[in-house]
Amino acid sequence: MYLLKMYRHFVIIYMKGKLAYHFSLVFELIANTIQIGVYFAGFMVIFHNFGNIAGWTQDEVLFMFTTSWLNYSLSCFFFWSPMKDMGQLIRTGKFDLYLTRPIGPMLYMVLQQFQYTFIPRLALSIFFWIYSMRSLSIKWTASALVFYAVNMLASFVIFSAITVFTGTISFWTIKSEELVSLLTNNNYGLKNYTDYPITIYGKGIGFLLTFVIPYAFTGYYPVGKLLGKELSHPEYAYLPPLVALIAGIAAYLFWSAGLKHYNSAGA
């Protein structure tokens, strides 16, 4: 409860600063809304021409990737900007300031910002998530609801862990903005590959998205199981919580190692 109050206080301060340039904020939100809207329009065009992809209908794929996008957007509210800016903070020495705060540097970095630019992505994801379910015959039993909710939480942790991994690399490389974008940017990064069933890609990409950068566990496997799709490895649908646990612990340990490796800008 204390952290929520602190976060609300930080968000208010952060947004007051942004509202000082309210036209810039409004145009930024409009631009992001148009960008995401164009993406969904392109998605609709694909299915208008092809009908289905790898046996998945438009609504099934839409439900799969909006499920993924919901968790991705929520994760980005907290971790996208801090990890994207890690390289700059280290290069300029500003990261030293975070080490002098009475709370951990990661927690402070998360609390002192709010990525409002992801609001359009979250809002449109919710809209199309609801839209996609209108023709899906999912039996929302108690077990199905629990299964979906647990996997949603696991998906959030997986996205967050991958983002933290990419930002933490800056402790060694100093500059990692491009890597963060490559792995986590949904417009042109590797994350974009998970918007469609991974079976449409080669075995190499499938292996990468499952065992190296485990994005397949954020949508494809659990949603495929929920929709009753024939998965090559149906048992993988039950692994997202385990993958999230491993990824979360690994990201925490990697971040801790990075902090120990860090030398002050004045050192």
- 202-229 pLDDT, tens digit per residue, is 889 999 999 999 999 999 999 999 999 9
Tokens of 68: 């993924």
What are the φ/ψ torsions at residue 125 (nearest 5 degrees)? -65, -45
Does the pLDDT value for residue 266 go beyond 60? no
Check if the beta carbon of residue 82 is closer than 8 Å to that of residue 14.
no
Q: What is the pLDDT of residues 122-175, one digit of tens each?
A: 999 999 999 998 888 888 999 999 999 999 999 999 999 999 999 999 899 877
pLDDT, the chain, mean: 87
What are the φ/ψ torsions at residue 89 (nearest 5 degrees)? -60, -40
DSSP string, the chain: -HHHHHHHHHHHHHHHHHHTTHHHHHHHHHHHHHHHHHHHHHHHHHHHHHSEETTEEHHHHHHHHHHHHHHHHHHHHHHHHHHHTHHHHHHHTTHHHHHTSSS-HHHHHHHT---GGGHHHHHHHHHHHHHHGGG------HHHHHHHHHHHHHHHHHHHHHHHHHHHTHHHHS--HHHHHHHH-TTTSGGGGGGS-GGGS-HHHHHIIIIIS-GGGGTHHHHHHHTT---SSGGGGG-HHHHHHHHHHHHHHHHHHHHHH---TT-
- What is the pTM for the complete model shown? 0.91
Query: Residue 24 — pLDDT band, cuts 50, 70, 90?
Result: confident
Q: What is the mean pLDDT of residues 216-243?
A: 94
So what's the pLDDT on residue 153? 97
127 compared with 263, residue with greater pLDDT: 127
Q: What is the mean pLDDT of residues 236-257?
A: 96
% of the chain residues with pLDDT over 90: 44
So what's the pLDDT on residue 264? 72
Q: What is the mean pLDDT of residues 69-78?
A: 92
Does the pLDDT value for residue 114 go beyond 70? yes
Q: What distance lies between CA 124 and its chain's CA centroid?
A: 15
